[in-house]
Structure 1
């Protein structure tokens, strides 16, 4: 049965600094760029807040995790356990495991393995790995993505975490490539379907194609200038969930102006008719 989850991006103006991972091409290494943001709720406090608001799970963007030492990750795991809110997916928001640059690919694979360990320590059930940054018509990049995802899936299994990928970034920006990845790797990896990541002109058809294979969805509508969801379009996409037999978490995303918690509730007010 479906239930509500939330993506931490929905309240990114409440959770403190964003710690973006970037590739330093000149130095051939990973750097972290810090984007200051207010912190009205800590990540350790968030599970209890979400429980009070009736959410069953959360997807956490990796740049919202302020520390990765063992002591902090144990605290985070306990915060989720005591709240009853599941840490569903750690969203690794960086990486190009399909890169033709062997050094870059090896570095990004090593970083992904590091974050798999972090996900395991924090109690996440899944970790989202980006399939690649290459254009979707690159057969060579897709082949490298198959190999990399298979390697990471085997690594994650040893840590009790499941690899998922998403229709996110160029390589997986078509349903054909998402389905090719699932066909090649089968149950070794899962799939997230994001409402907002396919090209708008074919969004409905592309999303309908992958939903039967998705274990979770990111329900992200488009918004008007005041932060109100474009309701008719959002409902059209939400209707695909029961039509496809989808019964996993519906992860709400608000990405508009104003108070973000209020924005989340505007999204939920529409999506509740499909749970």
Structure 2
């Protein structure tokens, strides 16, 4: 192996130094914006977990260089707090790959316009935080026109986003297979991208579907399935290989969601598998 090969291998492995903050939900005290666990809000309220402003340093300490954050993890949306969080990320050397808007229904039969407006209100938050992307759910309600309606709404959101990249995800009934994802994204001709989640599809056809949508994918939830304390390593490796063999070259944000409360340890198990596959 040459020196250049060593450098390329090291850069490739950095793709596994990424994590979806949902993986640390218990570490963050299962925080939800607007709940009584919000730091400094509500009568007698107190933080029950790691404050979000301290997460970047903790990520760096555990060897992670990239993070994805959920909208509901923000205790405050004012400019001062967003600037503090952006500064904490910069000080720790952690890149905010994607800001995830986990709610809102772009295909709601009667409230789609209101839902679109609410989702769009988070564009400013993502921009203020310095996120590279904002992930918007394609829709929560499957109708006869759901994919076309989602496509139109995502196009409008992307037009409002400026330099912020808008992506959607293979998540939920509106994008339940590769054909659905392509129906939403193909007409947009690259104006909206895809966050590909390895764990959102199941069944024997999932690997072919993952490979088929990889052309749209620019970031990823590298989610593994666990059975109690055992990771389904066979499925995880096949899912990773499905997108990597199809040419995916973006970050692989680890998603841990199993019974063991030691989330850092669970992430380490998954990261070792991802790095082995990348090698």
TM-score, scaled to structure 2? 0.86
Q: Cα distance, 1:47 vs. partner?
A: 1.3
**Equivalent position to 1:109, from 116, 126, 129:** 116
2:86 aligned partner = 77
- Report the counterpart of residue 52 of structure 2 in structure 1: 43
- The aligned counterpart of 2:200 is 197
Aligned to 1:239: 241
What number of residue pairs does the alignment pair up? 257
Tell me whether 1:86 sits opposite 2:99 in the alignment. no
Aligned to 1:55: 64
Pairing of 1:138-149 with structure 2 (within 5 A):
138-149=143-154
Find 1:8's aligned residue among 6, 17, 21.
Answer: 21
1 CA distance for matches of 2:179 and 2:211? Answer: 12
* 2:220 aligned partner: 217
Structure 2 unaligned spans of 5+: 1-10, 39-45
Q: Which whole-Å CA distance do the structure 2 matches of 1:154 and 1:96 have between them?
A: 18
* Matching residue of 2:277: 274
Distance in 2 (alpha carbons) for counterparts of 1:53 and 1:186: 38
List gaps (5 residues or longer) in structure 1: 21-31
Match of 2:4 in 1: none
CA deviation string 1:38-83 (max 9, x = no partner): 7432211111221222222111111111111111000011111122
Cα deviation, residue 203, structure 1: 1.4
Residue 251 of structure 1 pairs with residue 253 of structure 2: yes
RMSD: 1.9
1:140-183 deviations in whole A, cap 9, x for unaligned? 122211111011001112xx311100001110111111112221
Matched residue SS, 2:231:
coil
Deviation at 1:253, TM superposition (A): 0.5
Q: 2:151–2:185: 8 Å Cα contact kept in structure 1? A: no
Say yes or no: does 1:121 pair with 2:128. Answer: yes
Note if contact 1:17-1:38 (Cα within 8 Å) is conserved in structure 2: no
Residue number among 58, 74, 84 corresponding to 1:65 in the alignment:
74
Give deviations 1:113-162, integer Å, cap 9, x for gaps. Answer: 11111111111111110111122xx34122211111011001112xx311
Using the alignment, how far apart are the partners of 1:212 and 1:35 within structure 2? 41
**Residue 37 of structure 2 contacts residue 47 of structure 2 at CA under 8 Å; is this kept in 1?**
no
